[in-house]
Copies of this chain bind each other. A is one copy, B any other.
Amino acid sequence: MTVREHTLSHTQTHTHTLYCMLHSSTSLLEGAMSAVKLEEFRERIRKELDTTVDFWLQHSHDPLHGGFFTCLGRDGEVYDELKYVWLQGRQVWMYCRLYRTMDRFHRPEILEAAKAGGAFLRKFTRVPGAGSGQWKCAFSLTRDGKAVKIQRTIFSECFYILAMDELSRVTGDKDMQLEAEQMMEQLISWVREDPAGLGRPQLPGDVPTNSMAVPMMLLCLVQQLTEGGGAEVVQKYTELASWCVQQILQHIQRGGTAILENVSVDGAELPGCQGRLQNPGHALEAGWFLLQVSAQQKDEALQRTAIDKFMELPYQNGWDKEHGGLFYFLDVDGHCPTQLEWNMKLWWPHCEALIAFLMAYSHTREPALLHRFSEVFEYTFKHFPDAQKGEWFGYLTQEGKVALDFKGGPFKGFFHVPRCLYMCERILDDMLANKD
């Protein structure tokens, strides 16, 4: 080493030391600042969760037949008595989860409403399916439980399973858990073996498709059924969980630059609008599902993929640079989507984005992820909550004006808003408890 090199090296070392000192104090300062910020987020989120729970406790219960009204106007008034099964199952699940895991919601009225919802579901939602000896769950029921419509998809069944499993954890009812597992077996068979029981005619032009929603929902159910379970139950679903993860990862397309909503069963891009469709909210939701798996399996590569591909890409491709907020649908080649609502801002993609970025930040402590969370938080809390009447509006125009002013409808129930607030509060609790 020459004198010059030595001097240079010494200077570099010295500079490096200074940098580390500075960086360390900056980090400390940043840490203190972010703790204050996280506390502010938690306060706002906690209040919003309380308001939301109160709104549904007050307006959605049907004392006559059990189950829940979900078509609730701005003030909470019931504008339609149809009972949508996705939303019945989701509300039972959410009530039970709050009751089981958060002290301030461990209240008899919440448990009783969940039980009444569960009883309504068990009594009325299962109807004979197209497959021999198989059951389907209806999509919608009359107030007194008569089936109105059946979808030829798996989603009513998914939310039925979610409800039954979580309710059985609260009540200890083993029959209920068994029912959830039996329905799960049937679901797996429809998805992985033979879809005939769903009732769709087999058509030569209707090629099998890997739609994001299917492996996502199955993965969500695996997480539910194995939560806190022993080695046996985890083992039972290990292969399915891996399959779901692989199916979800197939949606990374265009050389890793986009998440596409529908791909072929071999993971290739499909032709036309269906193949080019992007659904940023769905991708973000898949992102935090994958992140949970990555944490359980201590899989750093999966963590990176979840964040870079399923969070950063949908944000980059899906955030409206002009008006803020996430688009509902986009075409990866920039064509106009054919969905009339493509440019609307819906509440649920923003809920998923909040969970995704906060969870990603809590797992990595990368400041950029907290920044993303803050940005989504600011848009969301400025536009969706109804300060006057409580709960959130669900559907805004591209410019952020309320386009549909009800609080609940055929697809908006007691689920995305409280799940988001619940998940975020829990993540913030953990971060603030471990902040040193």
Chain A: residues with CB nearer than 8 A to chain B?
71, 73-74, 79-82, 127, 138, 140-142, 146-150, 199, 201, 203-206, 271-273, 335-338, 340-344, 395, 397-398, 403-406, 409-410
- Answer whether A343 and B272 are a contact pair too, CB < 8 Å, given A79-B335, A203-B148, A205-B147: no
Q: What B residues does A340 contact at CB under 8 A?
A: 340-341, 344, 395, 403-404
A206, closest chain B residue (CB): B148
**4 nearest A-B residue pairs (beta carbon):** A146-B205, A148-B205, A80-B272, A340-B341
Q: Is the CB of B335 within 8 A of A73?
A: yes
Q: What B residues does A74 contact at CB under 8 A?
A: 336
> Is the contact region of chain A dominated by helix, strand, or loop, or is it mixed?
loop
Give bound CA distance, A191 to B396, whole Å: 39
**Given contacts A74-B336, A199-B201, A337-B404, could you give 5 more A-B pairs where the C-beta distance is less than 8 Å?**
A81-B271, A148-B203, A150-B201, A338-B404, A338-B410
Give bound CA distance, A335 to B71, whole Å: 11
- Answer whether A141 and B272 are a contact pair too, CB < 8 Å, given A336-B406, A410-B338: no
Q: Is the CB of A406 within 8 A of B204?
A: no
Q: Is the CB of B406 within 8 A of A203?
A: no
How many chain copies does the complex carry? Answer: 2
Give bound CA distance, A74 to B205, whole Å: 27
- Answer whether A273 and B79 are a contact pair too, CB < 8 Å, given A338-B404, A405-B336: yes
- Answer whether A71 and B338 are a contact pair too, CB < 8 Å, given A80-B272, A272-B82, A403-B343: yes
Q: Which residue from B204, B338, B397 sits with its C-beta under 8 Å from A146?
A: B204
Q: Is the CB of B203 within 8 A of A146?
A: yes
Q: What B residues does A149 contact at CB under 8 A?
A: 203, 206
Q: Is the CB of B150 within 8 A of A203?
A: yes
Give bound CA distance, A259 to B410, whole Å: 24
Write the nearest CB–CB distance from A142 to chain B, whole angstroms.
Answer: 4
Write the nearest CB–CB distance from A259 to chain B, whole angstroms.
Answer: 20
Give bound CA distance, A406 to B339, whole Å: 12
Q: What B residues does A127 contact at CB under 8 A?
A: 203
Name, among A140, A337, A340, A405, the residue most crowded by chain B CB atoms within 10 Å (CB to CB): A340
A410, closest chain B residue (CB): B338
Q: Is the CB of A204 within 8 A of B338?
A: no
